Amino acid sequence: MDAVRLKGVRTHNLKQISCTIPHNCLTVVTGVSGSGKSSLAFDTLYAEGQRRYTESLSTYARQFLQRLPRPPIDAISNVPPAIALRQKNEVSNARSTVGTVTEIDDHLHLIYTHVGVTSCPDCGVEVSRDNPAEVVDRLLDELEEGTRLILVASVAPEEASQRALLLEHLVGQGYRRLYIDHETVDVTESGVESLLDMEAFPVVVDRLVLRADERMRIAEAVEAAMGLGRGRVEVFEHRKEEAPRVFDQAFRCNSCGRDMVEPQPALFSFNSSVGACPTCTGFGKTMGVDYARVIPNPRVTLEDGAVACFQTPKYKTQHKKMMEACRNAGIPIDIPYGDLAEEHKRFVRFGGKGYPGIAKFFKALQKKQHRTDVRIMLARYRGYDTCEDCEGTRLHPDARNVRFAGRLISDFWEMRIEQALAFFDVMELAPHVRARIEPLLAEITHRLLYLHEVGLGYLELGRQSRTLSGGEMQRIHLTSSLGRALTDTLYVLDEPTAGLHARDSENLLEVLRGLRDLGNTVVVVEHDPEIILGADHVLEIGPVGGEGGGQLTYEGPLSGFDLDERVDFSACEAMIPQTTADIPGFVRIVGARHHNLKDLTVDIPHERITAITGVSGSGKSTLMEDVLFNGWRRLRGQGGVEAGHFDALEGLEGFAEVEMMDQSAIGRSSRSNAMSYTKAYDDIRKIFSGTHDARRQGLTMGDFSFNTSGGRCEVCEGTGTVTVEMHFMADVDVPCDDCGGKRFGPKVLGVRYRGKTIDQIFEMTVLEAVDFFEGHAALQRKLKPLLEVGLGYLRLGQTTATYSGGEAQRLKLATYIADGRKRGDTDPVLFIFDEPTVGLHLKDVAVLLVALRKLVELGHTVIAVEHNIDFIARCDQVIDLGPDAGPRGGELVASGSPREVAAVERSVTGRYLRELFQSQKKQAG
């Protein structure tokens, strides 16, 4: 019972392997790409843990779930309930943020509900519900003992005609005195008629002397006054003409009487109709004017035309009016717009005396949209602008009246995780307040600490989840799991170091050990040496990928595992240009200052491989995606593109395209696979339709397509699976009973080419298909690039929706290599890769480098945002950003060849490059 024991595992390419995974230990599963690591960890171990959990569900649920195929295995024992954390970000909802995913927002909602301080927006007075006991406490705290007090309740009739009856009723109840102008007036002596003009009667409920030993007596008087005054009481000091102290049982302002909304958790959630801003419905942005387009270059002065929309001949008069208004308002027009004070920028955008502003200019244009030129003008400057009503906070006005520790809840969303952690550490609270929320504070601090430890301290709590990489999202889910403090659970993780600099891997290892120390069994599919060296148990699958892999090459403790296996990089190193003299030009990014970039200028050589490096959050993706890629798209006139701020992009004129090769999914469709994506399936269908069996039955190319009616199975419509709607949980895909998951009907499945049916072709790996279809030049040209980028282990029929980010990226790369050879042209393309080594063993990194070198030989330019030190060491140029993350990053720390960067003491990446080069020198010696 001390370990999970597996016997005879045959999932995918696994060869009847048997192994043991000890409980309450950190086990690393490693090996080359396609060797069967995920097949063992996810498709067998996790799948069986999940299946056994479902057996505890109701009979109704099990009648569907039992149709799920069990992993092909002889025996498996001692499997705990399983949780899988995959390296994928499938969130597309704009309402999901780092704070909502980690549940930190939920805890903040409770804090603001229970101890948040509500202030009246009209007079700034703190609003709260008062009860008699609290009123007595405050009076004793604020006034000297012995002070004579007058308790007054304002009583108003429902209708003016009832005033006389109300007075008579009050006198009948014993309330004969009113408090008017700090004087006590007896109703029976002054006469009722003289008081009938009053809208409300200030009734004297009691007169008393403030003493601590009279607490009960005072509380009863306050309670009586509140009962008469509909929850409100005014306390005057005798013979002092000062404003009274006002107390109210209702949640309203004691000063102006404004009714306020009492805090509740939903009030602080922009995902709730109660808490969302009614204007932007909780998104924080509205469709309006994109001021980044209106003022494209903040370094230009107002005088020289910073406001682009006023520079056309038609709207030059608007420019003159703005200049005149700015001079009258004392706004400098001869300094760059970006250097103006905030109030001066607001004047330009929203107007002031004698000048309507840019915002009103566009509102006036919207009334003329019947004109074609106006519609073109509006489209040119349209974009998502910060919501003016909530100022981007996403919240309802009532939620923006509540503060905790002097801050709105939206202030926390703008904090980076490291900032929020520091704030909670030094925050000062009253002892009674802290006591009420101590468990909530402890939980928030606990989660923030883990997020910081896994290298995510640079993320803002309000950052949209859909903008995170797969690695970042997996580490966030890991933090959520730690926050829930589950025990006796099997955790299966897919490369949690993805997107992490080598410096941060050590912190992640401590987090994984923390998960283990809670009493869990942690299984990690990983290549990072830091994680492998910290494991309790190691499983290596190999020796190669695809059908040649699937064997257990090592099982046991780390002490017996040879981590320092030499990897042959000679093929890619032989292709590295030996001189810089033949560089045809440079891509120059001038003045990049988006997010944390600090006025950065960098040069990237043409027809070379350049690595953009730095710790997580140093600004690499901002520089490459937001500035370079989106900046190029905007310069090409593509609409709806939010580009980063920069002064100029130079050296892009000779490129036919700039391609962003990120790790986004190729498609979520179950119909997309490697064959269809590379167009290889067209050739395969042509081959099958040309066979004797196909011609005899009258089958055409269309009959061999699973996307159209004809030869496909019509029950599952060619997908091979049928979706069962569960209603009470996520829908389940089960194999089609009619075709058995083979996708096609009997006629098509009866056609064979070289003894293989079409569904057996789907089960082939790319490597097997290249050998099987030898002699078909067009098909070989599409399949062989997949081998060159290390994807020979992929099965032809595997859907692209199941690919990892790295696999999807390398599939895109393979299509470019294939297209380049087909056309034989030299149209240069600038490729920007986002961590192309994710999911790759060192042996596969060597293969990838050769593929990238072949792109360069075709005349293309390659830029890679990368953390893998072995990859970086074999690039032509390294641009290292840092020196740290967030506001401490965004600077150019080093630029040059890998060995030049290794010599820079300030560079974190340089330190790891030095260690690598020293290690290579020792091995060579």
**pLDDT tens-digit profile of 534-551?**
999 999 998 988 778 899
Q: How far apart are alpha carbons 836 and 849 in whole angstroms? A: 10
Overall fold of domain 674-802: ABC transporter ATPase like fold (1.20.1580)
pLDDT tens for 712-753 read 999 998 888 887 776 555 566 778 889 988 999 999 999 999
pLDDT at 816: 79
818 CB contacts (<8 Å, ≥6 apart)? 678, 781, 782, 784, 785
Asked whether the beta carbons of 64 and 2 are under 8 A apart, the reply is no
- 3-89+469-560: CATH, from 3.40.50.300, 2.30.30.100, 3.10.20.740, 3.20.20.370: 3.40.50.300
Residue 534 to residues 25, 458, 537, 912, 919, Cα–Cα distance (Å): 11, 25, 9, 18, 20
pLDDT at 669: 66
Q: How far apart are alpha carbons 503 and 498 in whole angstroms? A: 13
Q: How far apart are alpha carbons 637 and 631 in whole angstroms? A: 10
Q: What are phi and psi of 835, to 5 degrees?
A: 50, 70
pLDDT tens for 548-599 read 889 999 999 988 888 766 678 888 888 888 777 789 999 999 999 988 899 9
The residue-averaged pLDDT of 854-858 equals 87
C-beta neighbour count of 128 within 10 angstroms: 15
Q: How far apart are alpha carbons 320 and 322 in whole angstroms? A: 5
Cα–Cα nearest to 893, from 614, 628, 659, 690: 614
Mean pLDDT (the chain) is 88
Strands 861-865 and 609-613, sheet pairing: parallel
Q: Which residue has the higher pLDDT, 313 or 878?
A: 878
pLDDT tens for 198-238 read 888 999 999 999 999 999 999 999 999 999 998 899 999 99
- DSSP annotation of 578 reads S
Asked whether the beta carbons of 23 and 522 are under 8 A apart, the reply is no
Residue 368, amino acid: K
- 285-386: CATH, from 3.30.70.20, 3.20.20.100, 1.20.210.10, 1.10.8.280: 1.10.8.280
Q: Do domains 98-114+404-466 and 674-802 have the same CATH topology?
A: yes
Q: Which residue has the higher pLDDT, 217 or 193?
A: 217
Residue reference for tokens 């390419």: 13
Q: The domain 129-248 belongs to what CATH superfamily?
A: Ribosomal protein L1/L10, rRNA-binding domain (3.30.190.20)
Q: How far apart are alpha carbons 99 and 411 in whole angstroms? A: 12
Overall fold of domain 98-114+404-466: ABC transporter ATPase like fold (1.20.1580)
Residue 347 half-sphere exposure, CB side, CA atoms within 13 Å?
A: 24
The residue-averaged pLDDT of 624-651 equals 85
Q: How far apart are alpha carbons 331 and 333 in whole angstroms? A: 6
pLDDT tens for 38-83 read 899 999 999 888 878 777 777 776 666 555 568 899 999 999 988 8
Considering only the top CATH level, what class is 570-656+828-924?
alpha beta
pTM for the model stands at 0.77
pLDDT tens for 299-351 read 889 999 999 899 888 888 899 999 999 999 999 999 999 889 989 999 998 88
Strands 177-180 and 285-289, sheet pairing: unpaired
Name the E strands within 844-913: 861-865, 877-882, 891-896
Residue 289 to residues 292, 346, 383, 384, 387, Cα–Cα distance (Å): 9, 14, 5, 7, 11
Residue 265 to residues 359, 404, 440, Cα–Cα distance (Å): 35, 14, 14
What tokens were used for 165? 């009856």
Q: b vs e for 492-521, b when ≥16 Cβ sit within 10 Å of the residue's Cβ? A: bbbbbbbbbbbbbbebbbebbeebbebebb
Residue 60, amino acid: Y
Res. 692 pLDDT band, cuts 50 70 90: very high
Terminal Cα distance for the chain, rounded: 49
Q: Which residue has the higher pLDDT, 119 or 94?
A: 119
Question: Could you tell me the residue ranges of all domains in the chain?
Answer: 3-89+469-560, 98-114+404-466, 129-248, 285-386, 570-656+828-924, 674-802
Alpha helices in 116-213 (DSSP H): 132-142, 163-172, 187-190
